[in-house]
Amino acid sequence: MNKKVMLIFPPEWVPTAPYLALPSLAAVLRQNGIPTVLKDINVEAFDHYFTQNYLEFVRERIQGRLMRLMEKEQKEGLTDEERQLKEGFIQYTYVDIPHHAKKVERAKEITRGPEFYEVEKLEWALNAFREVMEFISISYYPASINFYPVESNLNVYRPWVSEDLFRAPHDRDVNIYIDLCERLVYPAIDEEQPDVIGISIGTPVQLMAGMTFAQLIRKKYPDIHVTVGGNITTRLKDEIAKKPKFFDRAFHSLVAYEGEHALVELVRALEDGRPLSDVPNLIWKDETGQVRVNDKLHTERVNELPIPDFDGMPFDKYFVPDKILPYLGTRGCYWGKCTFCDHGAGYIDQYRAKHADRIIEELKEMKEKYQAKHILFTDESFPPALFRKLPPMMIDAKLDLFWTTLIRFEESLLDPECWEMAAKSGCRSLYFGLESANERIIKLVKKDTKIDVAIKNLNEAKRVGIWSHVMGFFGFPSETQEEAEDTRRFLLDNQDIIHSVEMYFFVLYKHAPVWDMMEETKIDVQVNPEHDLALDYYYTPENGLSIPEAMQRYQQFYRDDYDPWALRVNAREHVYLYITHFGTNDLPQLYVRNHPESQTQMAPEVIL
């Protein structure tokens, strides 16, 4: 009898669509006859937050912390910070729980139903969620727990410091993931009785929740084999392998790189009582106490993989009115040259693509099986060859789908007919990686973007009704203020063909190729030994923008220049649904500038 597997996706991630990791793993496990249960605890947590039961629990937490502070005040006095915290707790004990519970239940109804497309109501709903998240956050002070954007942080516990990851599961005052584990994860384990639990940690903000879950599960259920995997644990595999404490307290094994067949082999080895030394991509601790890194590696053959299996995903809990399914046509990046990017560290081999006819077959099957018309291609960068080839095939197959993806500005995509076919096939929004509009910086980051080509791509996208979102950053090592200004000016000068913008400041990632350009960029990297799980580093440049100056540039942009792009609805998936619903990339109702605050506020009686 096959061992039963439970796959867990922990907070924090956007609650608008499933993350592809669990359905991809489940498809191969189930194909091999292994019973598999999927638990998207991320979206279940957000759904759980917005209930009267949980809000009453939060008020009890606040009252409990208040009582402890008052007792301490009588015995030994309070610090200034503690006195301020006590006053905050006192104020929040008077929160009208039934009123706010009613608001967020109504807000969930709006985001999951046809009223979603009435932007005033949607904006009201999102603000209702954020208001309640402030109430939740105060109960876990000094943690900051957010709805969207996903920027939750325990603050006193840093996910890039291993000792903090080990200490956090013991602090009920601050670590919200302890309560989520007890209220959402334990009941699922008790009901399903899995033999193996896999925790997928795909993003840095999930590391704290994932490691908290792992340690608590490992302690409460010592007979369950706990394994972790995902892009982040893969990037940290060398550091984790040096710390046996992870394998003693958090998990039994770590699956690096792609995990589909590696996880199948792990389950089979556990079932047969075989040593784990033959399981590909595995890091584990043997009976002698030695951490073993298996030499055997496995790269998935993408054309032989089954379609993602979403059975068991809680589609009714995502904060959208229509299903959005993620899908990968390729693995790795066809370009693979960008010096700022560290995504390649998640793969053994870089770029592999499915055959176009297979993509068509799988999209058709997914649409029919899950009754979904919205596809999110999660490819790291959609290949131009596929952008040209796939749309005519989608049209001929009468797929009748909508889709969106990340893409580069490409000189091979100048043919107007190519864009017309993309729009006709259902492409409704594209996320362009500009990075910089300065020629020298473009060469340094090896993006090879031609600015005139970028403008032509943007014009074509707008002409055919495709929404263009442009992303960039300030402060690539050696970039001057004047060079940064080129990027700012490009955005401002072309705002009529750019629908939305996302700017940031450059971050020096651990595995990015820019590390091989130290002589060229002339930066001095500061490595803090305490930050043993750091995925990015602070540095000082010999010339050009420092990190504080790049951050100031980024802040000034959002303060002084962002007004033309300020949206009332910020989630990418929400904007995508608006475009598909209204059938146009001209959506003035989404912009803040077109709706003064006095006009966007709705009376409570209208909503409730």
Of the candidates 262, 122, 185, the one whose C-alpha atom is nearest the C-alpha of residue 575 is: 122
Domains defined for the chain, CATH in brackets: 5-42+175-293 (3.40.50.2300), 322-515+545-594 (3.80.30.20)
Burial 223-252 (b: 16+ CB within 10 A, else e): ebbbbbbbbbbbbbbebbbebeebbeebbb
| 312 alpha-carbon distance from chain centroid | 20
- Per-residue pLDDT, 605: 32
Residues 390-400: tens digit of each pLDDT: 999 999 999 99
* Angle value at C-alpha 354, between 352 and 358, nearest 5 degrees: 175
- Of residues 598 and 496, more confidence is placed in 496
What are residue 153's DSSP bridge partners?
Answer: 144
- Which three-class secondary structure state does DSSP give residue 285? strand
Number of other residues whose CB lies within 10 A of the CB of residue 385? 13
What single letter denotes the amino acid at residue 585? N
Task: Identify the pLDDT of residue 518.
Answer: 85
CA torsion, points 215, 216, 219, 220, in degrees to nearest 10?
-160
Over 90: is that where the pLDDT of 490 sits?
yes
- Please name the residues in contact with 76: beta carbons below 8 A apart, sequence gap of 6 or more: none
pLDDT at site 148 = 81
Whether the per-residue pLDDT at 199 is higher than 90: the answer is yes
Q: What is the mean pLDDT of residues 456-472?
A: 97
Residue range 316-351, pLDDT digits in tens: 999 999 999 999 999 989 898 999 998 877 777 778
Instruction: Check the CA dihedral 99-105-108-113 and report its sign.
Output: negative
* pLDDT score of 344: 78
Of 132, 152, 133, 151, the residue nearest 143 (C-alpha):
152
Q: How confident is the model over 389-430, as pLDDT tens digits?
A: 999 999 999 999 999 999 999 999 999 999 999 999 999 999
**Cα-Cα end-to-end distance for the chain:** 52
DSSP 549: H
Lowest-confidence pick of 41-45, 336-340, 474-478, 600-604 = 600-604
- The tens digit of pLDDT for each residue in 227-278 reads 999 999 999 999 999 999 999 999 999 999 999 999 999 999 999 999 999 9
- Over residues 48-75, the mean pLDDT reads 95
Phi, psi of 196 (to 5 degrees): -130, 135
Measure the CA–CA gap between 176 and 172, rounded to whole angstroms.
7
Query: Is the model's pLDDT at 508 over the cut of 80?
Result: yes
Listed range (129-143, 319-333, 592-606) with the worst mean pLDDT: 592-606
